[in-house]
Amino acid sequence: MGACSTARRWMLVFAAPLLLNCGGGGSGGGSGGASGENEIGPTDTTAPQVTLTAPVNLAIDLTGTLALGAVATDNIAVTRVEFEVDGLGAGTDDTAPFAASVNTAEYAAGQHVVRARARDAAGNVSAWSAATVKFGGSTSVPAGFTKNERFISGLSQATALAQAPDGRLFIAEQGGAVRVYKAGGLLLQPFVRLAVDASGERGLIGLTLHPNFPATPHVFAHYTVNAGAAGATHNRISRFTAQGDEAMASSELVLVELPPLSAATNHNGGALHFGADGKLYVGVGENADPSKSQDLRSPLGKLLRFNDDGSIPADNPFFAAQQGLARAVWAYGLRNPFSFAVQPLTGRIHINDAGANTWEEINVGVAGANFGWPGSEGPDNVGAGIAAPLFAYRHSDAAPPGSGPGGFFTGFAIAGGTFYPATGVFPAPYHSNYFFADFGRRFIGRLDPANGNAAYAFASISDAPVDMRVGIDGALLVLGRAGVTRISSP
Ligand SMILES: [Ca+2]
Ligand SMILES: [Ca+2]
């Protein structure tokens, strides 16, 4: 249609008796513009074409100075080729041969996307020509960022992190303590110390603050109750009332008692966060019984949704069809949603689901969605009625390495995710990115929503990451088992 209407404008200008092939005559018509009559000629509407020639797609072990190259053509003339790495400018060249270079040491080791596009004097731009490549070396945070791995140290088996508007950090330790970090120090006295069963993946596994905290001084915890009697151990969601830096004595209000756990100590899920709708969402694992994930009568293997008092909203997707706690099910087909994140303002939810054999997943939360476990993992076996992951990465390299979903990202337990806000101290291309971390490989990646959620290596840390959030000062706080790493810009 575009080619056809372009040609019709030409006919008005030249009154030429052209026979128009509306099926694909656009570039042919554009070529005619180069043949003369330019003083009264039409505006050039034909975009250049470009091919990135260096680096080649799926190149690996790129270190040192990397030469970028492109060939570009246009019906009139290419006036500029722009190069980018990860959506950030990496040089321009106005004359052929089109080239630039980047210092790979300024980027975290791992996957990056190099691309080029061309423009002409009329401002037409080509599509991007891109290559997904792997930088080698040992850089663990991009140039322009500062990583402090000892921002907080001395934590014991940490699991979750929350921040109050006054800057205090509330940190859950698996053994049951909620620690408070305030004014540059970790307070010796915990906010509360819960009696938990911390065997395997059990224990204090989730923590969040009321969205109106501290005016509404409620702290929410997800933990495994050590009930003593066989078959009685279960996970619980409770609310505590803060008084200064500690929970008011006897302020625990049990909101939800999840079903008794089996002997399996893994796949408890953990994270809980408030949505933009003011509801409390909780990730619950399938307790190593995959059949629970598809069973809408069970709250296991689900993302649950509650009111802030623990009651179940009547607009939950299965409220009418189910009974009891199953009415809290908001999304299902999950294996072990240990972490998830809510985007500020938009309320978009990304659910990280730790996979079994092949894939780690990032899923977009939608009421009633089925994310497929156990019949589907990652992009495999996504049948009718199953929501495919937004992004998935493999446990080991594809053949060839870097090909297929996830590219060069490999790991074995996605654990930690957070959205960068729409504004903040990080450079603009990082705004609204989704950061995700892998517990096993200890990397932090980012999804770039402005570029189709392309994934780039962002950083790596020494500790095993379990949770992340963007602090009120705009720095990325990565909770590891033993401490907090702060990544700031500059
Ligand atoms: Ca042109
Ligand atoms: Ca899935």
Q: What is the number of the ligand closest to the CA of 355?
A: 2
Which range of 26-35, 223-232, 244-253 scores highest in mean pLDDT? It is 244-253
CB 407 within 8 A of CB 400: no
CA 47 to ligand 1 center in whole angstroms: 5
CA 324 to ligand 2 center in whole angstroms: 26
Q: What are phi and psi of 206, to 5 degrees?
A: -155, 150
Which of 328, 349, 327, 325 has its CA nearest to residue 339?
349
Question: Does residue 222 surpass a pLDDT of 90?
Answer: yes
Sequence-separated contacts (24+) of 238-243 with Cβ below 8 Å: 239/310, 240/191, 240/192, 241/217, 242/191, 242/213, 242/214, 242/217, 242/218, 243/217
For residues 16 and 4, give the distance between their C-alpha atoms in angstroms, rounded to a whole number.
15
CA 46 to ligand 1 center in whole angstroms: 4
Residue ranges of domains in the chain, CATH in brackets: 2-33 (no CATH), 49-135 (2.60.40.10), 146-488 (2.120.10.30)
pLDDT at 313: 98
Helix H, strand E, coil C: the string for 169-206 is EEEEECCCEEEEEECCEECCCCCEECCECCCCCCCEEE
pLDDT tens figures, 463-479: 999 999 999 999 999 99
Which of 107, 193, 103, 114 has its CA nearest to residue 156?
193
pLDDT tens figures, 172-190: 999 999 999 999 999 999 9
CA 226 to ligand 2 center in whole angstroms: 31
For the segment 476-488, the average pLDDT, to the nearest whole number, is: 98
CA 27 to ligand 1 center in whole angstroms: 9
Q: What is the number of the ligand closest to the CA of 49?
A: 1
Q: What is the number of the ligand closest to the CA of 358?
A: 2
CA 378 to ligand 2 center in whole angstroms: 5
CA 386 to ligand 2 center in whole angstroms: 8
CA 33 to ligand 1 center in whole angstroms: 9
Cβ–Cβ contacts within 10 Å for residue 247, how many? 22
CB 298 within 8 A of CB 318: no
CA 118 to ligand 1 center in whole angstroms: 10
pTM score: 0.90
Whether a cis peptide bond, with omega within 30° of 0, leads into 217 is: no
Q: Report helix, strand or coil for 28.
A: helix
CA 387 to ligand 2 center in whole angstroms: 7
Q: What is the number of the ligand closest to the CA of 121?
A: 1
CA 290 to ligand 2 center in whole angstroms: 12
CA 86 to ligand 1 center in whole angstroms: 26
pLDDT tens figures, 392-404: 999 999 999 999 9
Q: What percent of the chain has pLDDT over 70?
A: 91
pLDDT at 28: 36
CB 244 within 8 A of CB 250: no
pLDDT at 232: 87
Question: Does residue 229 surpass a pLDDT of 80?
Answer: no
pLDDT tens figures, 279-329: 999 999 999 999 999 999 999 999 999 999 999 999 999 999 999 999 999
For the segment 36-52, the average pLDDT, to the nearest whole number, is: 79
pLDDT at 257: 97
Q: What is the number of the ligand closest to the CA of 354?
A: 2
Beta strands in 204-271 (DSSP E): 204-209, 218-225, 234-243, 246-247, 253-260
Q: What are phi and psi of 347, to 5 degrees?
A: 80, 0
Give helix 2-14 / helix 26-33 axis angle, nearest 10°: 40
Q: State CA 4 to chain mean position distance.
A: 42
pLDDT at 14: 35
CB 298 within 8 A of CB 269: no
Q: Per-residue DSSP letters for 41-82?
A: PPPP-PPPEEEEEESPTT---B-SEEEEEEEEE-SS-EEEEE
For residues 184 and 161, give the distance between their C-alpha atoms in angstroms, rounded to a whole number.
16
Specify the residue for token string 């330019």: 38
CA 352 to ligand 2 center in whole angstroms: 10
For the segment 152-177, the average pLDDT, to the nearest whole number, is: 98
Q: State CA 21 to chain mean position distance.
A: 45
pLDDT at 226: 85
CA 288 to ligand 2 center in whole angstroms: 16
CA 141 to ligand 2 center in whole angstroms: 30
CA 450 to ligand 2 center in whole angstroms: 24
The burial of 295, by beta-carbon neighbours within 10 Å (0-12 exposed, 13-18 middle, 19 or more buried), is given as: middle
Q: Per-residue DSSP letters for 113-149?
A: EEEEEEEETT--BPPPEEEEEEE-S---S-TT-EEEE
pLDDT at 29: 36
For residues 168 and 209, give the distance between their C-alpha atoms in angstroms, rounded to a whole number.
11
Sign of the four-CA dihedral 244, 248, 251, 256: positive
